[in-house]
Structure 1
């Protein structure tokens, strides 16, 4: 008996497509977002944002960035999503004034005092309450709306049912994250980095202690990591909601946000394009995304950045950590059948589960650690030298050459 196709894929949702909001950590990231079809981008100026590690923009090149985005019909939101110190207030007000003159479309804020102040000074400027505020219910939304917020980026810990309840019972636009890195703590509330290194995660300088390896001690005795599923207990997997995107759209949110201002432009382009295509199919009568299409799109995103995917709390996951590895290790390529070494190179015999090309980067998992390398050559079992190999041919085995 054939399985019944889930209702979510059997018919279309008639809706207004929510915007795809992409990260722009620098000029190349901005170009990547435009190329991927993003409806809007968010970017930071200098140190006054939650991603000090990104290249970011300067106030002097902001106008050109805004003009470029607007020429492609892309909106630009300025992230000022950190709590401010009193001595910084005037500098930040000067930045906002320049940004306002440059035609910025909105400002994303965490500081409640700055939210109220900017609403008084620029009543026609759209102000968005950052997820760093940890707003997770209607009361929180109503509070910041009273201070001037026109949009609220709600906490990533909410489910679709909770998000829909907020959308249905509040008078401001609601935005959610749909893809990218997650914080183990509640957004805007982590002090671990500050305690260890005097680097505030809430001020954009996180040292990422959650990505580190930890030992487990019980009554003073160390426990082998095989009994606790891994050595990275508080490292989160990457959020990916592509296969459940229709459920999120049904909540009525106006914006789908992608994390990644410190990631490569290729990631920005691909993630924007994948979510844009899915949204358009979901919201277009007569079109419908299949499970296979969505899974294929997710697999392509995994090749660009992957440390395990989670559907997140928003789609019902109970836990989002991925304790075995904490760094980007890509999509599963295949199983190593044999290893041989010669001077200057190593040859791996691999049974492929994914396609591969010369110059692709690969990660090799050993019992001790993960090794990284680029593929310098591919040889089929029959001895033919090729530039690429397709896994579809009976899960074929090939020789991969890499430099030592």
Structure 2
């Protein structure tokens, strides 16, 4: 059985490192231009090189997104950008547009090209077409069922990639014009304002200014607001379908989200491949996915056509059960003291969890904290404040501290 690649989002250099350390085989990321997540932090040129080198030191891969649908003025700097990405040693680029594909083949013929989900590849003939042009991988459209994917796998022999977790778009493989129409921000050039998450009412032509709720709900109606994709429960079917890469959405999500989701899918994939007959989805994995920021989960189009049950009508807000409060920078085994970079207000007396790559999460009470001068403190209120604290078990750099949301007075 060929183990599928686990591909994670990297919205900045810190998220890239977290994704790879927590178990991703590869990451996808973008420079400051040409990617479809213009409002993610993204990477300066030097940061791209740092990220590529970091991944390669771990024996892992990096793919650069160049998946906008460019207008003429976008093409001016594109050839030099593609050449620079190739020179840095990127393992591939992800494109949507035939013009970008053509330029990449001209200026960097040895650079592998992956076809983005934005290209709407929904059948085996389209995938075969991209293969004949020289693409090495196709990221399949999100509208496909598992049966569709299996048939495509039977017909073609290049790499196939599909999303297995994360936010869904209300439009056809992300080809949406609502943002452009309502705000002037072009989703197909990376500037989506996410109007599908806004609340809407109806207005009847002869009664201008009278706004009628689509559903009787005082909180509004979110008629385009999709649930998030989660296919953890169906991992065996996905692996057996012959997909080469499992993709996690979320370049604009937090480091907590990236590390947690990657860790869960890493453990699940490894567990299944090592012993398919004994595999079962652990309750701990499902609980982990509830701890990060997400919407209610759905299986999308994989097993049936979507219905009203795959939308959320009452709120566009994310839900999560835990807050990320600190990141381990160092640990002294002789003293049992950990050096922590604060990421959210922490207090002595709180009970937290410590999650770290490749190990089980454990509960830790904050019995004491000390500032950078060694002075005892009761609270760490300052963003990225460096503190030390005793921990009951050894921890490693990049271990994450998180706290149930009830500690902040929320239900």
TM class by shorter chain equals 0.7 to 0.9
Residue 43 of structure 1 deviates from its aligned partner by 0.3
In 1, are the aligned partners of 2:9 and 2:251 still within 8 Å (CA)?
yes
Alignment partner, residue 36 of structure 1: 22
State the secondary structure of the residue aligned to 1:187.
helix
From the superposition, tell whether residues 401 and 200 of structure 1 become closer, same or farther in structure 2 (CA, over 3 Å).
closer
CA RMSD of aligned residues (A): 2.7
Give the Cα separation in 2 of the matches to 1:89 and 1:42. Answer: 22
Give the Cα separation in 2 of the matches to 1:276 and 1:260. Answer: 16
Alignment partner, residue 110 of structure 2: 124
Residue 119 of structure 1 deviates from its aligned partner by 2.2
Residue 207 of structure 1 deviates from its aligned partner by 0.6
State the secondary structure of the residue aligned to 2:138.
strand
- Choose the corresponding residue for 2:266, options 276, 281, 291: 276
Residue 188 of structure 1 deviates from its aligned partner by 3.8
Alignment partner, residue 178 of structure 1: 164
Alignment partner, residue 250 of structure 2: 260
In 2, are the aligned partners of 1:22 and 1:257 still within 8 Å (CA)?
yes
Of stretches 111-120 and 248-257 in structure 1, the one that deviates more from structure 2 is 111-120
Alignment partner, residue 141 of structure 2: 155
> Deviations for 1:218-257, whole angstroms, at most 9, x for unmatched residues?
7867246347997111101111110111111111010000
Residue 146 of structure 1 deviates from its aligned partner by 2.5
Give the Cα separation in 2 of the matches to 1:49 and 1:166. Answer: 27
Give the Cα separation in 2 of the matches to 1:286 and 1:165. Answer: 23
Q: Which residues in structure 2 correspond to 1:351-390 (within 5 Å)?
A: none
Q: Which residues in structure 2 correspond to 1:200-279 (within 5 Å)?
A: 200-216=186-202, 222-223=212-213, 225-226=215-216, 231-279=221-269
Residue 138 of structure 1 deviates from its aligned partner by 1.0
Alignment partner, residue 299 of structure 1: 287
Alignment partner, residue 19 of structure 1: 5
In 1, are the aligned partners of 2:165 and 2:230 still within 8 Å (CA)?
yes
Gapped runs of 5+ residues in structure 2?
A: 323-362, 367-380, 382-405
Residue 50 of structure 1 deviates from its aligned partner by 0.5
Give the Cα separation in 2 of the matches to 1:326 and 1:296. Answer: 26
Gapped runs of 5+ residues in structure 1?
A: 1-14, 333-355, 360-375, 377-398
Alignment partner, residue 85 of structure 1: 71
Alignment partner, residue 179 of structure 2: 193
- State the aligned residue count: 327
From the superposition, tell whether residues 197 and 229 of structure 1 become closer, same or farther in structure 2 (CA, over 3 Å).
closer
